[in-house]
Amino acid sequence: MISVMAGLATAAILFIVTVGLSLIFGTMRVINLAHGTFYMLGAYLVTVTFGAVSSRALGFTVMLLVSAAIVAVVGLLIEVLVLRRLYGSDHLLQLLATWAILMILDQVAIMVWGPQNFTAALPRAFNGSVQMNGQQFPQYDLFLIGVALAIALALWLILQRTRFGRLVRAAVQDVELIRVLGVNVNRLYTQVFVVGTFLAALGGALMGPATSVGPGIDMNIIVEAFIVSVIGGLGNIWGAAIGAIIIGLFQSIGNLYVPELASLAPYIVMILILVIRPHGLLGKVEG
């Protein structure tokens, strides 16, 4: 029971980060290697820059949103100044551009916060545990699961009940059609990229107090996010949820029974899925 809950807590963060990546790719067809760097910036802001106001639940919640919003502004500038000029280009050019952005932001982070790792205390409101099946489970992990569920519900409502959601779904199907119908596709892309960046930064901000924050965490999370995306189907946000749950449970239960192989679980699962279903569980063949 505890291992399953721990796996769901891991899946919660993976989902929050990966769903932003899938939203961007599904709508814009941009493979954003810098996505993990937005996660890292969110973690740095919460852990180092705003760590002093993180002890209370309200302050912590505001801090999460402010941190993610600041990084979303960075994403806005990157989309407008760089990526907008590469739409329609070969995927390789987009990969190289986002890779260059990743390297630049990594170096900026080292210049601002230094090469050392940081840890921060959990807010007092979540720094306890609850009893489950005779064992203690961290309250903060329950908080992470709750946030992920809230984000999933919010995304569903936005995609199904708002004009923005309808445009996003239409762009996933045929972006040229909505362009002909007079939709400002560039503005839609900007909005989608900002939302995706916000989600990546929010994932990092949420993980900031629960892990060691330092150079390299962006590389780790982007690898895991791509694995989750491939398993669920690149560009499918609900596939991201399924992929995150699969990886989270495999890692958690693997740590319990075969800890020496647990770190390999994501790669093993990805290979199996690719062999059985090359486009992922919910992915579609590109036309």
Q: What is the pLDDT of residue 73?
A: 97
Find the mean pLDDT for residues 134-160: 92
Task: Give 215's DSSP letter.
Answer: T
One-letter identity of residue 45: L
Q: What is the pLDDT of residue 193?
A: 95
Task: Give 131's DSSP letter.
Answer: E
Which pLDDT band holds residue 21 (cuts at 50, 70, 90)?
very high
Contact 109, 44 (CB under 8 A): yes
| pLDDT tens-digit map of 203-261 | 999 998 888 898 989 998 999 999 998 888 877 888 889 999 999 998 888 888 877 77
Q: Name the one residue in this structure whose structure tokens are 């960046």.
A: 197
Of the two residues 16 and 281, the one the predictor is more confident about is: 16
One-letter identity of residue 92: L
| pLDDT tens-digit map of 57-105 | 778 888 899 999 999 999 999 999 999 888 877 888 888 999 999 999 9
The pair phi, psi for residue 138, each rounded to 5°, is -60, 135
CA end-to-end distance (rounded Å), the chain: 43
Contact 71, 45 (CB under 8 A): yes
Q: How far apart are CA 160 and CA 140, in angstroms?
A: 30
| pLDDT tens-digit map of 2-17 | 788 888 999 999 999 9
Of the two residues 241 and 266, the one the predictor is more confident about is: 241
Q: How far apart are CA 50 and CA 60, in angstroms?
A: 9
What does the block give as tokens for 187? 């503005």
Q: What is the DSSP string of 47-72?
A: IIISGGG-SSHHHHHHHHHHHHHHHH
Q: What is the pLDDT of residue 208?
A: 87
| pLDDT tens-digit map of 157-209 | 999 999 999 999 888 888 888 888 888 999 999 999 999 999 999 999 999 88
Contact 59, 233 (CB under 8 A): no
Q: What is the pLDDT of residue 197?
A: 97
What does the block give as tokens for 278? 């090359």
Cα 193 to its chain centre, rounded Å, is: 12
Q: What is the pLDDT of residue 161?
A: 92
Find the mean pLDDT for residues 106-120: 91
Task: Give 45's DSSP letter.
Answer: I
Q: What is the pLDDT of residue 53?
A: 56
pTM of the model: 0.91
Cα diameter, the chain: 60
Q: How far apart are CA 272 and CA 260, in angstroms?
A: 19
